[in-house]
C-alpha cells in the first residue's frame, strides 16, 4: 500500500540532519535513510537543533534543502544536561547496550527526559495535520507518542528503535522501566532491527505489564501495538558508486600507496564503548604476538571520531584507547612500520568508501550494536573481483543478516586473532562467494526496503472511527 499523496510523513528524532547537498557529505547512515524517506513522501523532519538557548521558547526554525523541510528547536542548557547527556546517554544508552556498570540513575535525568518529551510534543503538535503519519525515532523519545496522544493526536504513530532492546532482567534495573514501556502502547507500530531485540521487548511487556501477544500484535488493555523486526539497510548501489567515484578512487590510491604492499585492516566507529574498540586492539595485539612472521605484513587503521565528549564514560574510553594504542605501538613498532594507525576524526562518505575498498579486512567488533551500518558499507564498497573479508561480531544486529561474514565473539582475543589469520589467508574464490552472498542480502534489504516495510505497515493500521459531528 502506498501513501496517499495528500498525507505526509512527519519524522521526529533527537537530531535533525539536513541534506548536505552532495553524496560526499558526512551525514551518517540513518540520516541518509531518513532524508531519502522524506524525499519520497512529502513531509517534515522535526527535532533538536543541537543548539542551546537561555529559556525554552518552542520557536521553530524551518529550513528547506533539496526537497526536505526541517523544523528544529533549541533546548535549554538544563534540558541538554538532563535529557540528552543525562537520561539518553548516561542511563538508557549504556543500559540498552548491556552496560549495567556504566548506567547512572538520577531522578533529575528522568525528570528532564520527560520534560523535554513534553516540550517536543507541544511544539510539534501544531505542525501535524490530519492524515499525516508520524514516525518517531529512537531511545531519546520513547514517551513522545504518549505525550502526543495526551494532546489529542489520533494520527498513526510509529516508533523505530535503533539500538538493542535489553533482556527483561536487565531492563528491570531501570527505575522507570515499567512506566516507560507502558507509554509505548501509545504507538501503532514499533520496529526493531532484529527478532532478538523484539522478543526481549515482548518478554518484558508480557511478564512485567501483563500484555498479551496475539500474532504480531501486543495487547494491553484497550491499546494494541504491532511489533516487527525490520533491519535497517544502506543504499548499497549508491555506496558502491562512492567507492569508485573520483574522490573514492583517490582515497583508495592514497591508502594503497601508504600501505606499501602491506594488508590493511580497517575499523570505523564512533568512539563509543559499545563498539568494542579496546577488545579490538587487544585481539589485534594477540594476533601480532601469535604470528610474529605476519607483523610487518599488516597494519590496523582505526578511524574513531569522538562522540558525546562531555560524558565521563566517553572521556575514559578515549584515554584508555590512547593508552592501549600507544602501548602496542611502543612495543611492536619498527622504524619502517607502525602496527596501529589510530585516527580521531570523521571523513566524508566517499573518502570512507575508498578507504574501505582498500582494506583487505573490515574489523567490525561491537560488544553490542542495534545493527551496525559500517559492516554493510564495508561490504558494499568492495571490488567484486577481489573483495576483502568482513570480520563481524556476533553481537551486532547485522550478524543476523550477514551470516557469511567471519563471525566472532568480540570478547575473545583468541577468536579475533584466529579470524584475522583466516581472513588474510582466505582464497579469492571463498572471498568472492562470501561477498556475493552478503551483497545479495544488502541489496535486497536495502534502505528503501527498510523504510517501505515500516511505513507500509504503519499505513495499514486502521484509523480510529471519526466521531459524527
Catalytic site positions: 162, 369
Q: Which is nearer to ligand ADQ, 267 or 339 (CB)?
A: 267
Element spanning 135, H or E: strand 133-137
d(CA 428, CA 415): 22
> Which of 28, 167, 241, 306 is the binder for ligand ADQ (CB under 6 A)?
28
346 part of the interface to ligand ADQ, by CB under 6 A: yes
- DSSP, res 2: P
CB of 123 to ligand ADQ, least distance (A): 24
26 part of the interface to ligand ADQ, by CB under 6 A: yes
Pairing of strands 298-303, 340-343: parallel
352 part of the interface to ligand ADQ, by CB under 6 A: yes
Single out the segment in contact with ligand ADQ by CB under 6 A; choices: 176-184, 279-287, 368-376, 401-409.
368-376
Q: Which is nearer to ligand ADQ, 270 or 291 (CB)?
A: 270
Question: Where in 306-377 does DSSP place strands (E)?
Answer: 340-343, 361-364
Residue 305-324 contact track with ligand ADQ, rule CB under 6 A, x = bound = x-------------------
30 part of the interface to ligand ADQ, by CB under 6 A: yes
What are the distances in angstroms from CA 8 to CA 45, 55, 118, 123, 146? 11, 31, 23, 18, 20
Alpha helices in 97-219 (DSSP H): 107-124, 144-150, 168-171, 177-183, 195-209
Single out the segment in contact with ligand ADQ by CB under 6 A; choices: 25-33, 211-219, 429-437, 442-450.
25-33
Q: Which is nearer to ligand ADQ, 211 or 390 (CB)?
A: 390
Q: Which is nearer to ligand ADQ, 366 or 387 (CB)?
A: 366
Map residue 301 onto helix, strand or coil. strand
369 part of the interface to ligand ADQ, by CB under 6 A: yes
CB of 44 to ligand ADQ, least distance (A): 21
- Helices 246-259 & 349-358 angle (0-180, nearest 10): 40
d(CA 161, CA 110): 19
377 part of the interface to ligand ADQ, by CB under 6 A: yes
CB of 338 to ligand ADQ, least distance (A): 19
Taking a C-beta distance cutoff of 8 angstroms, is the pair 201, 341 a contact? no
> Which of 19, 29, 145, 191 is the binder for ligand ADQ (CB under 6 A)?
29
Q: Which is nearer to ligand ADQ, 157 or 277 (CB)?
A: 277
372 part of the interface to ligand ADQ, by CB under 6 A: yes
- Torsions phi, psi for 274 (to 5 deg): -75, -15
Single out the segment in contact with ligand ADQ by CB under 6 A; choices: 21-29, 378-386, 420-428, 437-445.
21-29
Only one residue has cell 578511524, namely 303
Taking a C-beta distance cutoff of 8 angstroms, is the pair 49, 76 a contact? no
285 part of the interface to ligand ADQ, by CB under 6 A: no
> Which of 12, 163, 236, 420 is the binder for ligand ADQ (CB under 6 A)?
163
Taking a C-beta distance cutoff of 8 angstroms, is the pair 288, 339 a contact? yes
d(CA 93, CA 431): 35
Q: Which is nearer to ligand ADQ, 45 or 288 (CB)?
A: 45
The residue length of the chain stands at 469
Map residue 439 onto helix, strand or coil. helix
> Which of 23, 162, 182, 308 is the binder for ligand ADQ (CB under 6 A)?
162
- At a CB cut-off of 8 Å and minimum separation 6, what does 199 contact? none
CB of 234 to ligand ADQ, least distance (A): 7
Catalog residues that contact ligand ADQ under the rule CB under 6 A: 26, 28-30, 162-163, 232, 268-270, 303, 305, 346-347, 352, 369-374, 377
Amino acid at each position: 500500500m502506498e501513501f496517499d499523496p495528500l498525507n505526509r510523513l512527519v519524522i521526529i528524532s533527537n537530531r535533525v540532519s539536513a541534506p548536505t547537498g552532495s553524496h560526499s557529505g558526512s551525514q551518517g547512515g540513518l540520516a541518509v535513510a531518513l532524508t531519502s524517506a522524506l524525499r519520497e513522501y512529502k513531509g517534515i523532519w522535526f527535532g533538536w537543533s543541537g543548539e542551546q538557548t537561555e529559556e525554552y521558547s518552542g520557536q521553530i526554525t524551518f529550513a528547506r534543502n533539496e526537497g526536505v523541510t526541517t523544523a528544529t528547536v533549541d533546548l535549554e542548557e538544563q534540558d541538554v544536561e538532563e535529557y540528552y547527556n543525562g537520561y539518553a546517554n548516561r542511563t538508557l544508552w549504556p543500559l540498552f547496550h548491556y552496560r549495567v556498570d556504566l548506567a547512572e540513575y538520577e531522578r533529575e535525568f528522568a525528570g528532564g527526559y520527560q520534560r523535554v518529551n513534553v516540550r517536543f510534543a507541544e511544539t510539534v503538535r501544531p505542525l501535524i495535520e490530519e492524515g499525516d503519519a508520524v514516525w518517531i525515532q529512537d531511545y531519546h523519545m520513547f514517551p513522545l507518542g504518549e505525550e502526543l496522544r495526551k494532546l489529542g493526536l489520533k494520527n498513526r504513530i510509529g516508533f523505530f528503535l535503533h539500538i538493542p532492546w535489553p533482556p527483561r532482567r536487565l531492563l528491570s534495573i531501570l527505575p522507570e522501566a515499567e512506566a516507560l514501556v507502558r507509554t509505548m502502547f501509545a504507538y501503532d507500530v514499533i520496529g526493531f532491527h532484529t527478532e532478538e531485540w523484539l522478543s526481549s521487548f515482548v518478554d518484558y511487556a508480557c511478564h512485567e505489564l501483563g500484555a498479551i501477544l496475539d500474532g504480531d500484535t501486543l495487547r494491553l488493555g484497550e491499546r494494541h501495538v504491532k511489533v516487527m523486526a525490520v533491519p535497517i539497510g544502506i543504499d548499497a548501489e549508491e555506496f558502491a558508486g562512492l567507492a569508485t567515484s573520483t574522490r573514492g578512487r583517490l582515497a583508495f590510491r592514497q591508502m594503497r600507496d601508504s600501505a606499501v604492499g602491506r594488508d590493511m585492516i580497517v575499523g570505523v566507529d564512533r568512539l563509543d564503548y559499545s563498539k568494542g574498540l579496546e577488545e579490538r586492539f587487544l585481539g589485534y595485539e594477540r594476533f601480532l604476538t601469535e604470528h610474529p612472521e605476519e607483523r610487518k605484513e599488516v597494519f590496523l587503521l582505526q578511524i574513531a571520531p569522538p562522540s558525546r565528549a562531555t560524558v565521563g564514560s566517553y572521556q575514559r574510553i578515549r584515554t584508555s584507547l590512547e593508552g592501549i594504542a600507544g602501548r602496542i605501538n611502543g612495543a611492536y613498532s619498527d622504524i619502517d612500520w607502525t602496527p596501529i594507525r589510530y585516527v580521531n576524526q570523521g571523513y566524508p562518505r566517499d573518502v570512507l568508501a575508498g578507504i574501505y575498498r582498500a582494506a583487505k579486512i573490515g574489523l567490525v567488533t561491537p560488544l553490542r550494536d542495534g545493527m551496525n551500518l559500517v559492516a554493510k558499507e564495508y561490504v558494499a564498497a568492495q571490488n567484486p573481483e577481489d573483495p576483502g573479508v568482513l570480520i563481524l561480531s556476533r553481537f551486532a544486529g547485522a550478524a543476523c543478516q550477514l551470516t557469511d561474514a567471519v563471525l566472532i565473539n568480540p570478547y575473545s582475543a583468541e577468536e579475533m586473532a584466529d579470524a584475522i589469520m583466516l581472513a588474510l589467508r582466505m582464497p579469492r574464490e571463498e572471498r568472492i562467494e562470501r561477498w556475493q552472498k552478503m551483497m545479495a542480502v544488502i541489496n535486497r534489504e536495502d534502505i528503501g526496503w527498510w523504510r517501505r516495510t515500516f511505513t507500509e505497515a504503519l499505513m495499514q493500521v486502521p484509523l480510529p472511527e471519526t466521531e459524527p459531528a
